């Protein structure tokens, strides 16, 4: 256990430090700063870090199981979230039927009193009947994780650069394609907008992380001078720090903490149930040790900021999406020890 505590301490200090500094700067600096930093990391920083860390990773044939695990996790999360939505709908319907049946046997005064209380209860609980946009945001929060800006530094700190390829494969061929592929399809199905579909698909095709992934695979075998190699590694770690700083800045701009209950249920599916089920299932396919831990850590990340982009483009429930982002980012500090305890050697 002391080894696990040391690993968590080495992660939490820079994690909380950089994110906390980002939250502080997000309140002090102009809004243009995080926008500029986000564009720099998206087009230059993250692609550079992928190329850098791919040169340090051990690529085995089994590493291709990472995107398979990613898609399994997304489909399982979406399936469990859909089962919850349907079960909740049937339960609410049954409760309404029971209320109507009981009311028909009561006198008129009691029936009117019950109806008034029922109407007041519905006004107090606007989430009693979920709309299609709310269902869409609930599904997205249970499926797509922040495996890039947050998953990368967590994996590097707890598993190490040698197994970082598992995290990269999970993110680029799993989460990124899932967010702008399956995520867009779901948003178009449940949203009230849908006019941004072409733009989101173009964003997927133009995503520099995908292109740098393939570039890094071919570039990793080309020898570089020692000075250039060290400079590339330094740039990679600097990008990780800037990514955490940007995450803090973005969190500082989230002002809505409503919809905590449905967000918590969705996060329970995304960050607890799915990693447990798929994580233990990986051992049956021979994926154990650090690769297993790397996949589980990626799979247990809170919802990605891409869910907010999609929610705004398709008029989903932005309040639920924002709450899931904020609560999930804080809850990660509580769930990480679980995965280290269960899957760390």
Contact 142, 77 (CB under 8 A): yes
d(CA 273, CA 338): 12
pLDDT digits 0-9 by tens, 258-311: 789 999 999 999 999 999 999 999 999 889 999 999 999 999 999 998 898 888
Confirm whether 118 is domain-assigned. no
- Domain ranges, residue 202: 2-104+129-343
Confirm whether 115 is domain-assigned. no
Contact 239, 38 (CB under 8 A): no
Q: Would you state the structure tokens that stand for residue 111, as one six-digit string?
A: 């029936």
Confirm whether 78 is domain-assigned. yes
CATH code assigned at 212:
1.20.1530.20
Confirm whether 281 is domain-assigned. yes
Total H helices, total E strands in the chain: 18, 0
Measured between alpha carbons, how far is residue 288 from residues 66, 279, 293, 342 in Å? 12, 9, 8, 11
d(CA 189, CA 216): 36
122 pLDDT above the threshold of 50: no
Contact 298, 170 (CB under 8 A): yes
| Structural domain count of the chain | 1
According to the model, what pLDDT value does residue 110 have? 46
Confirm whether 167 is domain-assigned. yes
Confirm whether 121 is domain-assigned. no
Confirm whether 117 is domain-assigned. no
Strand partners, 303: 145
d(CA 170, CA 63): 9
Rounded to 5 degrees, φ, ψ at 242 are -65, -35
Confirm whether 69 is domain-assigned. yes
Buried b (16+ CB within 10 A) or exposed e, 102-125: ebeeeeeeeeeeeeeeeeeeeeee
pLDDT digits 0-9 by tens, 200-258: 667 667 778 888 888 888 888 888 899 999 999 899 889 989 999 998 998 888 777 77
């Amino acid at each position: 256990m002391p080894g696990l505590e040391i690993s968590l301490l080495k992660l939490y200090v820079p994690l909380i430090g950089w994110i906390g500094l980002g939250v502080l700067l997000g309140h002090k600096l102009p809004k243009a700063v995080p926008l500029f930093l986000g564009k720099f990391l998206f087009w230059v920083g993250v692609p550079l870090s992928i190329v850098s860390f791919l040169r340090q990773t051990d690529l085995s044939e089994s590493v291709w199981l990472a995107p398979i695990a990613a898609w399994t996790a997304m489909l399982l999360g979406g399936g469990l979230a859909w089962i919850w939505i349907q079960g909740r709908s049937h339960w609410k319907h049954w409760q309404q039927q029971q209320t109507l049946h009981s009311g028909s046997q009561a006198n008129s005064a009691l029936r009117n009193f019950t109806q008034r209380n029922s109407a007041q209860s519905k006004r107090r609980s606007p989430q009693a009947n979920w709309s299609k946009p709310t269902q869409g945001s609930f599904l997205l929060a249970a499926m797509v994780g922040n495996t890039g800006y947050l998953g990368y530094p967590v994996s590097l700190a707890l598993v190490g650069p040698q197994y970082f390829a598992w995290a990269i494969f999970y993110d680029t061929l799993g989460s990124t394609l899932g967010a702008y592929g399956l995520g867009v399809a779901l948003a178009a199905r449940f949203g009230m907008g849908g006019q941004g579909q072409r733009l989101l698909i173009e964003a997927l095709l133009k995503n520099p992380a995908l292109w740098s992934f393939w570039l890094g695979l071919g570039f990793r075998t080309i020898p570089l001078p020692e000075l250039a190699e060290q400079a590339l590694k330094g740039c990679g770690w600097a990008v990780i720090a800037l990514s955490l700083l940007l995450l803090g800045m973005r969190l500082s701009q989230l002002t809505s903490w409503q919809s905590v209950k449905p967000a918590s249920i969705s996060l329970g599916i995304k960050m607890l149930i799915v990693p447990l089920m798929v994580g233990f299932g990986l051992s049956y396919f021979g994926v154990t040790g650090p690769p297993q831990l790397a996949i589980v850590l990626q799979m247990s990340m809170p919802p990605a900021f891409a869910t907010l982009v999609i929610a705004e483009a398709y008029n989903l429930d932005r309040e639920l999406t924002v709450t899931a982002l904020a609560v999930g980012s804080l809850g990660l500090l509580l769930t990480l020890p679980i995965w280290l305890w269960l899957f760390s050697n």
